[in-house]
Amino acid sequence: GAGVSQTPSNKVTEKGKYVELRCDPISGHTALYWYRQSLGQGPEFLIYFQGTGAADDSGLPNDRFFAVRPEGSVSTLKIQRTERGDSAVYLCASSLIGAYGYTFGSGTRLTVV
Amino acid sequence: TQLLEQSPQFLSIQEGENLTVYCNSSSVFSSLQWYRQEPGEGPVLLVTVVTGGEVKKLKRLTFQFGDARKDSSLHITAAQPGDTGLYLCAGTTSGTYKYIFGTGTRLKVLA
């Protein structure tokens, strides 16, 4: 597609539930990134994919968070047993490998109640 | 853990004024970027700087990368209401494509 697409744009879930957030990157972009942004803060790195594999998952806060990119295109961020502290905007970005700069999607606003 | 501090955190100015936003770190970066983010949207890349001392201009915006590649500044001349937004710097170190973002500067330009 023309840009990075993230769905859903908003997600409200109950504490303890499981959620999946989807990212569809720009066609041909081999690198895909997930960030989390809390209100009034800069984005915080979660995980980076190069192709199908996670090249760096050092930002995942704990084992409740997991991300996949099985075919090297669409990626899904999965959060188990959600907690209120997981509430944030989850941003996805993609780029050509080695290129400077990302193209971000508009994000998924996750609210855990 | 590398940390990028931005100052000021908040800035409210009148249309036509000039301003400078700073991005500082104790780490050396192989490249540094500036983004602008509007409510409900993802950050949009404005510029990338890679060489110490480099200066880039984008219309009324001037970006500078420090000689030691540890800091950067963004200067806006004759600010307009359309410049309102959250300005973010982001840096990466050699050997990684992961960008670490700064704390952000929220700018409001009043008409």
A25 touches chain B (CB under 8 A): no
Q: What is the DSSP track for B14-32?
A: ETT--EEEEEE-SS--SEE
Q: What are phi and psi of B83, to 5 degrees?
A: -80, -10
Convert the pLDDT of each residue in B18-40 to its tens digit.
999 999 999 999 999 999 999 99
Convert the pLDDT of each residue in A47-66 to its tens digit.
999 999 998 999 999 999 99
Q: What is the pLDDT of residue B108?
A: 97
Label residue B1 by pLDDT band (50, 70, 90).
low
DSSP state of A72: S
| Contact yes or no for A41 and B104 at CB 8 A | yes
What residues of chain A lie within 8 A of the CB of B48, using their CB?
Answer: 100-101
Convert the pLDDT of each residue in A64-112 to its tens digit.
999 999 999 999 999 999 999 999 999 999 998 777 788 999 999 999 9
Instruction: State the virtual CA torsion across A68, A71, A73, A78 in degrees, nearest 10.
Output: -20
How many Å apart are CA A107 and CA A36, to the nearest integer?
9
How many Å apart are CA A25 and CA A23, to the nearest integer?
6
Nearest to B87 by CA among B1, B29, B24, B10: B10
Cβ atoms within 10 A of the Cβ of A23, count? 27
B3 touches chain A (CB under 8 A): no
Convert the pLDDT of each residue in B80-106 to its tens digit.
999 999 999 999 987 777 899 999 999
Q: Is pLDDT above 70 for B73?
A: yes
Q: Residue A86, SS3? A: helix
Question: How far is B111 from chain A, CA to nearest CA, in Å?
Answer: 23
Q: Is pLDDT above 70 for B52?
A: yes
Convert the pLDDT of each residue in A18-47 to its tens digit.
999 999 999 999 999 999 999 888 999 999
Q: What is the pLDDT of residue A45?
A: 95
| Contact yes or no for B104 and A4 at CB 8 A | no
- Sign of the alpha-carbon torsion through B41, B35, B75, A40: positive
Label residue A1 by pLDDT band (50, 70, 90).
low
